[in-house]
Every structure is written in C-alpha cells, then in structure tokens.
Structure 1
C-alpha cells in the first residue's frame, strides 16, 4: 500500500544567463516559461497540472524573472491561497534546485516549465511508484515505443539499455535532504546523450562505457549509480509516452501544440 504522503513540487522555470531563447523571441516575451502554447503560457499550464495532482502539496516555482510569472492568473491565485511560493533562480539549474529545496518539506517532485504534456495522473503515477520503491532519488523514463506512439517525431534521442530504448521525462524525485546530491545529475542541463563527459563527471567512466554500449538493464545501471551516490536511486517507467515530449525547440513546440489541440481544441483565440 502506497504511503499517504504529499510531495512538495519544484517547478523549474529559469533561463540560461545571457541566452535569448528563440521561442521567447518569436512570441515577444522575455523568457521561455511564459511562451503561450495553445493559448496558455507554458508555466501556467504546468503549474495547473501539478496543482491538480492529489499527491502534491506545496508548490515552489523557481525562476529568474519572478514578477512576470507571479502575475499570471493561475500562479497569482495559488500564491494568494498560500499554496505556491516563488523562489529566485540561481546561476545554473543545480544551484536553482538547491535554492528551491531550501526549507521545503520532503519528498520533492521536480519538473520543468516546458513539460506541457504531463498530466495530474502522470505526476500521481510517478509519485506512487517512487513511494512504492522507497526511492531516495528517481528519474522518470518512458519507453521508446510509447514515445513514438505518442508522436513519431516528438522525441529523437533515447538512452539504450539491454531491455530497449528509453527517453527522459525531465521529472525527478528527491526523497530526503540527503538525496539533494543527486541534483548534480542535472548540472549543465543533464544532456548526457549529446555530452558524454557529463556521465563521467556524474557517474564514472565504467558506467559511461556500459551506458554507451547498451550493456545491462537500466535497473542495474541505476543500482551502480546508487552505490556511487550512497543512496537508492531508481528508474521509474511511466505508462504514457507523451510525458517524454517537452518543448525544447520549434519542432517540439509544434508537436506539443498539435497534441494539446487534439486534447483541448484550439484555444489560441482565448489567449489574453
């Protein structure tokens, strides 16, 4: 039986220092998190889904331009309710996670402002599986076949394991303050497929070789990483491949908006 625990959600909505996001420039806004997609700013959409998850309690939005985000109706309502707190982002994502976690009640669910296809049910599934595993740290994954069934071009990069290909859902779990050291996995964006040196830094050379050669199962690799960090870190496979499609660029923006219009209808005419 899953424990009756409510997680604190950290929604990462920062921006890279000195970098102008192309999607934000095209939309005429100052930061990617407030780019409208199917008529709703991304951060507002993600926070609404997180807030609707019955297994989430407090919400913290970590951002560099807090004021612009705090004025959005959904965000403002949750702030007024006392459920949501804005936290100033730091220079990089890892230090921003540490800032968001300061004084927070564990466990922490970490997601990103561009995870526009994750649903309350998806967050509940992830939290329930983390609790069932007694995970101190976890990363959400989706199977290649499920991702490609959701959209054939929604995600092009997959981690290869003996039991198949998996994509990262940019959703993480920290069960305790001790597990905060796992946030180092996300330093510099966690783009391990494109930048394998980051695996060496985070996990060690032998694990990089196993990863690149597709040796062993994901469970075995995570067990080896757990020994390196000193606590239980597990892979959590989610049932819906949509959850691995986030808004990184023009292509994934178009894919995500197409899927949202199928779900909701065209809401662009209702944008404020």
Structure 2
C-alpha cells in the first residue's frame, strides 16, 4: 500500500512483551504488560496514544501487542477502537519482527515509537515529521541534545551518544517513508535485541561505521551519511527540541522522572488557562 492521500502518517506503537517475558516494572505494579504500568495516574500506553491521537499529522494508530484484549480492557481507548482509528496487531517475539508484521497493509509513511515513550507530544510528532520531509529521508531516527534532556529534568537521562559537535540521546521514535525503507529493518529480522548480537550489527552497518558511532568520531550527521551509503537509502537523524521525549520509562527512577515532567506540564497547562 502506498502513502496516505491526506498526507498523514500511520503510527505504530510497540507494546508487546520483550521476548515474551514480563517486565520488572509490570511485576512490581501487578500488571501483565509494561505498557499498563501507571505513570502519573494513567497506564503509560494511554499517554502515548493520547499524544498520537491528538496529532493532526497521524491517521491510523496500530498497537503491536500479543493480546488485543489488553487494549479492549482500557476504557480510555474504546472510542478510538470503535471508530477504527486504533487497531491491535499481533506482536512478535522481538521488536524487528513486530515492526515488519505490523507494517503489513499499513499506509505509509510509518511513525514508530514505543509504549514507554510517555512524554511524547503532538508538537514533537510534528517536528519529527517535518524534519523527515526537510531532509528528504527514506528512514529517520529521532534524537535530542544532552542539554535539552537535562533541561527537561536533571535526572532525565544518564547515558548519551557523544559526537564531535555534541552529545545526544535517542528518543525511541523512528520513521519509514515507504515499504522499500523496511529493507533496513529486514537486515535485523533475526537479530532480536541487537546489543546481544554484535556480529549481526557489524555485518549490517560495517565495523568502521560502528566504531565511529560508538566512540563519537565525527558528527552525528556525518555518521548517518555513512549509514545511508551502507544501506543505499537516506537515513537521517532528526533533532527534536523537547528533551523530555528522550526520557522513556525503563525503571523506577525514570518512571518517577516521567511522572514529575507530566505533573509539571499539567501545572503549566492550568496556569495558561
């Protein structure tokens, strides 16, 4: 299927269990899936869906999860499900297979994010899509600068990718222009969690590219230009201005940080009214 006539992107939210295992946060919260762990009073998945649904740049929203009943059990989603805007698709054992399966029949472009990306906002979605268009990208990865992350919250992130001009954090948000761009994901079909299979990454990206990426040799843009040549498509980094989008909920600390940021946003919205 080609691109949407209305210009909107299809959103894919990865909400399945990684390797089928129950996440420690989910166990602690007494829920079946990490995406159901409450943050600031709402399951983290609801925060992500709310941001996507509020964006006029997003059409259909697909959620990759093993059991559609998980979504049907959330009263906040029933309206979107009833209208057909929110659709459950079967998650696979690893993230890459989930993306490939969920993209089947989807209208492109495809915006991919994760259910723990609770600080995603409609402005960040728009900034991502505009950045992809401006760079003529076939595929894109969202980053934000270290100073932006720390401005959002001083404990927001502790690990950054260091490059010649700055340090960045990944925002767990990706974009594919069309079905041909899935070739990049196909490279990792059997890879599972890539960090556990370094030789597969080396084969895909090339040893020199990986060394440059890992140790920050050169600029971020130059690194992605090399990735682009390797894959024979334009893979672009898009720098988001809101550093909070890099704060995904992975543990008790980041859950608390995300709750703080959400509460700060709520106070600011009330003050603006």
TM more than 0.5: yes
Q: 1:52 to 1:190 in 2, by over 3 A?
A: farther
- 1:174 and 1:82 map into 2 onto residues whose CA distance is 22
- 1:212 and 1:44 map into 2 onto residues whose CA distance is 34
| 1:144 corresponds to which of 128, 143, 146 | 146
| 8 Å CA contact retained: 2:150, 2:156 | yes
Alignment correspondent of 1:188 = 192
Alignment correspondent of 2:166 = 164
Q: 1:147 to 1:228 in 2, by over 3 A?
A: same
CA-to-partner distance for each residue in 1:8-59, whole Å, 9 max, x for gaps? 0001101123422111111111110111111111111111110111111111
**1:185 shift after superposition:** 6.3
TM-score w.r.t. length of structure 1:
0.90
CA-to-partner distance for each residue in 1:115-156, whole Å, 9 max, x for gaps? 001101111110111112221100000001111111122111
- 1:4 and 1:169 map into 2 onto residues whose CA distance is 26
Q: 1:48 to 1:190 in 2, by over 3 A?
A: farther
Aligned residue for 2:144, secondary structure, equals strand
| 8 Å CA contact retained: 1:144, 1:165 | yes
| 8 Å CA contact retained: 2:47, 2:119 | no
Deviates more, 1:18-27 or 1:226-235: 18-27
- 2:20 and 2:33 map into 1 onto residues whose CA distance is 11
- 2:193 and 2:158 map into 1 onto residues whose CA distance is 17
**1:179 shift after superposition:** 0.5
Alignment correspondent of 2:270 = none
Alignment correspondent of 1:11 = 13
RMSD: 2.0
- Stretches of structure 1 that go unaligned for 5 or more consecutive residues are 266-272
Map 1:1-272 to 2 at 5 A: 5-183=7-185, 184=187, 187-189=191-193, 199-264=201-266
Aligned residue for 2:126, secondary structure, equals helix
Aligned residue for 1:141, secondary structure, equals strand
TM-score w.r.t. length of structure 2:
0.90
| 8 Å CA contact retained: 1:161, 1:217 | yes
**1:190 shift after superposition:** 5.1
Q: 1:185 to 1:137 in 2, by over 3 A?
A: farther
- Stretches of structure 2 that go unaligned for 5 or more consecutive residues are 268-273
- 1:13 and 1:170 map into 2 onto residues whose CA distance is 13
**1:70 shift after superposition:** 2.5
Q: 1:63 to 1:56 in 2, by over 3 A?
A: same
| 8 Å CA contact retained: 1:196, 1:208 | no
Aligned residue for 1:17, secondary structure, equals helix
- 1:199 and 1:244 map into 2 onto residues whose CA distance is 23
Q: 1:197 to 1:155 in 2, by over 3 A?
A: farther
Aligned residue for 2:254, secondary structure, equals helix
